[in-house]
Amino acid sequence: MKKLFSLLLAGLLLLPVFTACGESQENSDPAADSNQTAANENPTAETAAPEETALSDDLPDADFGGYEFRIASGMGEGIPMANRITVEDYTGTPVTDALRDSTVYIEDRFNVKLTTLIYDNDKTAYTSAVTAGDDAYDIQVAADYISYGMAASGMFIDMFSVEQFNFDKPWWPKRMTETLSICGSLYTTSSYLSYMGLDWTRALLINKDYAERQGLTVPYDKVREGTWTLDSMIAYVEGVSNDLDGNGKIDKQDEIGFVTGSQTWYCLQESMDIPVYRKDAEGNLILDFDIDRVDTYVTKMRALMNTPDFLQTSDFFGVEMFKPGKALLCYGQIGDAYSSYREVDFKYGFLPTPKFDEAQAEYINCCTDGPWAIPITVPADHMDVVGTICEGLSCRNYQYVLPAYFETSMKSRLADSPDDAEMLQLIADTRTTSFSYANDLTFKNILSDLGNNDKGVASYYEKSSKAANKLLEKLVSSYESLKDGN
pLDDT tens by residue, 153-204:
999 999 999 999 999 999 999 999 999 999 999 999 989 999 999 999 999 9
Q: Which segments within 294-430 are labelled E, that is strand?
A: 310-312, 327-333, 348-351, 365-366, 372-373
pLDDT digits (tens, 9 = 90+) for 292-314: 999 999 999 999 999 999 999 98
Same-domain status, 234 and 362: yes
Q: Is residue 266 situated within a structural domain? A: yes
Same-domain status, 339 and 475: yes
Q: Is residue 236 situated within a structural domain? A: yes
Domain that holds residue 322: 202-366+433-483
Contact 206, 325 (CB under 8 A): no
Same-domain status, 169 and 49: yes
Q: What is the pLDDT of residue 20?
A: 45
Of the pLDDT bands very low, low, confident and very high (cuts 50, 70, 90), residue 37 is very low
Q: What is the pLDDT of residue 251?
A: 87
C-alpha to C-alpha distance for 439 and 262, rounded to whole angstroms: 20
Count the residues in the chain.
Answer: 486
- The per-residue DSSP string of 405-451 comes to HHHHHTTT-GGG-HHHHHHHHHHHHTEE--HHHHTT-TTTTHHHHH-
Q: Is residue 422 situated within a structural domain? A: no
Cβ neighbours for 259, distance < 8 A, ≥ 6 positions apart: 310, 311, 312, 313, 318, 321, 322, 327, 329, 330, 331
Q: Is residue 426 situated within a structural domain? A: no
Q: Is residue 258 situated within a structural domain? A: yes
Of the pLDDT bands very low, low, confident and very high (cuts 50, 70, 90), residue 454 is confident
What proportion of the chain, given as a percentage, has pLDDT over 70? Answer: 87
Q: Is the pLDDT of residue 115 over 90?
A: yes
Q: Which amino acid is at 199?
A: D
Same-domain status, 189 and 215: no
279, exposed or middle or buried, with CB in 10 Å at 0-12, 13-18, 19+? middle
Query: Where a domain ends, among 381, 416, 451?
Result: 416
Q: Is residue 424 situated within a structural domain? A: no
Same-domain status, 154 and 228: no
51, exposed or middle or buried, with CB in 10 Å at 0-12, 13-18, 19+? exposed
Q: Is residue 428 situated within a structural domain? A: no
Same-domain status, 353 and 218: yes
C-alpha to C-alpha distance for 200 and 181, rounded to whole angstroms: 20
Question: The pTM is what?
Answer: 0.86
Same-domain status, 213 and 355: yes
Same-domain status, 324 and 468: yes
SS3 323: coil
Q: Structural domain tally of the chain?
A: 2
Same-domain status, 409 and 281: no
The stretch 364-376 carries a mean pLDDT of 95
C-alpha to C-alpha distance for 18 and 397, rounded to whole angstroms: 11
Q: What is the pLDDT of residue 184?
A: 92
Q: Is residue 159 situated within a structural domain? A: yes
Same-domain status, 21 and 166: yes
CATH number at residue 107: 3.40.190.10
Same-domain status, 218 and 173: no
pLDDT digits (tens, 9 = 90+) for 262-283: 888 999 999 999 989 999 888 8
Same-domain status, 130 and 37: yes
Contact 375, 137 (CB under 8 A): yes
